[in-house]
Amino acid sequence: MAVEVLTTADGREKTALSKRHAEAWFAARAAGDPIPVGRADPPLRPSRPAQPELRDPRDVPKRKPGSPAGRIALLHAVAHIELNAVDLHWDIIPRFAHVPMPMGFYDDWVKSAAEESRHFNLVCDCLEELGSHYGALPAHAGMWRAAEDTVDDFMGRLAVVPMVLEARGLDVTPGMIALFRKAGVTQAVDALETIYAEEVGHVAYGSKWFHFLCGRHEEDPKEAFHRLVRHYFHGALKPPFNEEKRAEAGLPPDFYWPLTDAQGTA
């Protein structure tokens, strides 16, 4: 099921399949007859639509966030992040299926993948309402890099994807909500508020399963997190941090503050 999602290129098709598979997973769980977790070979890179054109982040044109074109560009970037997130959450399941994990691990990522699928569609609806669509603008090419870098490091994947990248979303989303509220784009405010509320859960799942694996390997979670982020994440973490939401998601300040530039991590 994960590989089917990963190898579907079109965004709306990928997310529809993702939701269907998540519903089947949870229906089977509720019926007490869970779908067994098998083995499959996920592709190194997921299938993506022909548009948007993927460019080096330096070559993605910047637009003023206060303008209508700037708001479309911002939503387009969010849609791209959400589509990547759908693939990231499905990818972690077959990628590390050789490591025995409790069923709750799979529940969490299937649920997250279904939520990301809704996020993508909500943001695409906003883009279409504003006369644009996902694929109309170029998008960051480097977004899958974290997955490739951690392709054979389960704890590295959890450290970098939910606990760094998705946690970053908690830092920046309130500012985006304020921007769309100021512009009176209520549909985007609603979409971003849904995203903001649900992303706390994804960061929390990352932290939960990271701590679980640290316990299994008798590693100190904070030290392991610092080691793995320094190894796999390119660059320092950027304050300001949303300390309140990060705490709610099980990320204490002593996990991320030592990885900022000010702390000399370079």
Residues that bind Fe ion in the complex, under the rule CB under 5 A: 82, 85, 116, 119, 166, 199, 202
Q: How far is the CB of 10 from Fe ion (least distance, A)?
A: 19
Q: What is the largest CA-CA distance in the chain?
A: 53
| 3-state percent breakdown (helix, strand, coil) of the chain, nearest 5 | 65, 0, 30
Residue closer to Fe ion by CB (options 87, 116) is 116
Q: How far is the CB of 145 from Fe ion (least distance, A)?
A: 17
Q: How far is the CB of 11 from Fe ion (least distance, A)?
A: 13
Residue closer to Fe ion by CB (options 113, 259) is 113
- Using DSSP, state whether 237 is helix, strand or coil: strand
Distance of alpha carbon 146 from alpha carbon 156, whole angstroms:
9
Residue closer to Fe ion by CB (options 6, 85) is 85
Residue closer to Fe ion by CB (options 187, 265) is 187
Residue closer to Fe ion by CB (options 118, 218) is 118
Q: How far is the CB of 245 from Fe ion (least distance, A)?
A: 13
Residue closer to Fe ion by CB (options 109, 225) is 109
Q: Which two tokens stand for residue 185?
A: 């784009």
* Neighbour-count burial for 107-143, b at 16+ CB within 10 Å, e otherwise: bbbbbbbbbbbbbbbbbbebbeebebbbbebbbbeeb
Distance of alpha carbon 233 from alpha carbon 164, whole angstroms:
8
Decide: residue 229, CB within 10 A, 0-12 exposed, 13-18 middle, 19+ buried: buried
Distance of alpha carbon 25 from alpha carbon 7, whole angstroms:
19
| Residue with the two structure tokens 């000399």 | 264
What does 113-137 look like in DSSP terms, one character per residue?
HHHHHHHHHHHHHHHHHTT--TTSS
Residue closer to Fe ion by CB (options 47, 194) is 194
Q: Which two tokens stand for residue 119?
A: 């996020």
Q: How far is the CB of 201 from Fe ion (least distance, A)?
A: 8
Q: How far is the CB of 230 from Fe ion (least distance, A)?
A: 23
Q: How far is the CB of 81 from Fe ion (least distance, A)?
A: 7
